[in-house]
Amino acid sequence: MSRYERHIMLAEIGVEGQRRLADAKVAVVGAGGLGAPVLYSLASAGVGTIKIIDSDTAELTNLNRQFIHFEGDIGKPKAMSAKEKLVRYNSVICVETVVKELNHSNAQALLADCDLVISCVDNKQTRHLINSVCINENIILIDGGISGFEGYVLTVLPGVSPCYACMFAHGEETKSGVLGAAAGVIGSLMAVEAIKILVGIPITRYLHYIDTLGFRVRPIAAEKRANCPVCGGF
């Protein structure tokens, strides 16, 4: 436990909270700009099992923001590249890799055994799929998005909070520029939310807007939609 001494000193975590982290299994979908800080933060916090799901390979254009991948990793599957770094960083944790695209035929099987899912993907179609599975399986979801200097963090507590479908409509994602450091900020905030949930700290605000250009973090009023096709009945 000496590795986590500074965690244990926190009244909100303590020894029991650190044990909860060690016993947890978290799925991270996407090992890119948001996934990189999420993965490093979970590993440093001592989350016992991390499942990385990503079908892509590392490219040169990724490296301005996806700092878990190095120049020598170009062409490697991102899930495998990320695992190499995490097991060297913390040899005690278990890192599972799934080098395949998350889709309607495999999403339930890949996510159902996890205590928490963190969505670090870059398209609405996959976000909606992950949200649907998490609601149906009663799994807490943390979702994040980034565009330019701005982004958001959404925490979905099934049966309690609004879900992703309550807040965001289906539609095509447009490719945009991304400040690498901003992706790091938002991914780190996603990891903070995940750690809070895993150790039992109550979550009272579900959606936050982050503007790194104006240096603002603002909670957004979020309410469940009674007619939501995903969570309306919960």
Lowest mean pLDDT among 8-12, 124-128, 169-173, 198-202: 169-173
Neighbours of 139 (CB within 10 A): 19
Per-position b or e across 208-227, b if 16+ CB within 10 A of its CB: bebebeeeeeeeeebebeee
Site of tokens 């919960």: 234
pLDDT for residue 21? 98
pLDDT for residue 234? 63
pLDDT for residue 176? 83
Q: Which residues contact 79 (CB under 8 A, 6 or more apart)?
A: 31, 52, 53, 54, 97, 98, 99
pLDDT for residue 174? 72
Span 201-228, average pLDDT: 93
Residue-wise pLDDT tens digits, 140-172: 999 999 999 999 999 999 999 999 999 988 876
Per-position b or e across 173-202, b if 16+ CB within 10 A of its CB: eeeeebbeebbbbbbbbbbbbbbbbbbeee
Residue-wise pLDDT tens digits, 89-136: 999 999 999 999 999 999 999 999 999 999 999 999 999 999 999 999
pLDDT for residue 129? 98
Report the distance separating Cα 15 and Cα 11, nearest Å. Answer: 9
Enter the pTM of the model. Answer: 0.96
Report the distance separating Cα 133 and Cα 141, nearest Å. Answer: 10
Residue-wise pLDDT tens digits, 29-87: 999 999 999 999 999 999 999 999 999 999 999 999 999 999 999 999 999 999 999 99
**CB-based contact 29:139 (threshold 8 Å):** no
Site of tokens 């944790």: 93
What are the DSSP E strand ranges found in 40-191? 49-53, 94-98, 116-119, 140-147, 150-156
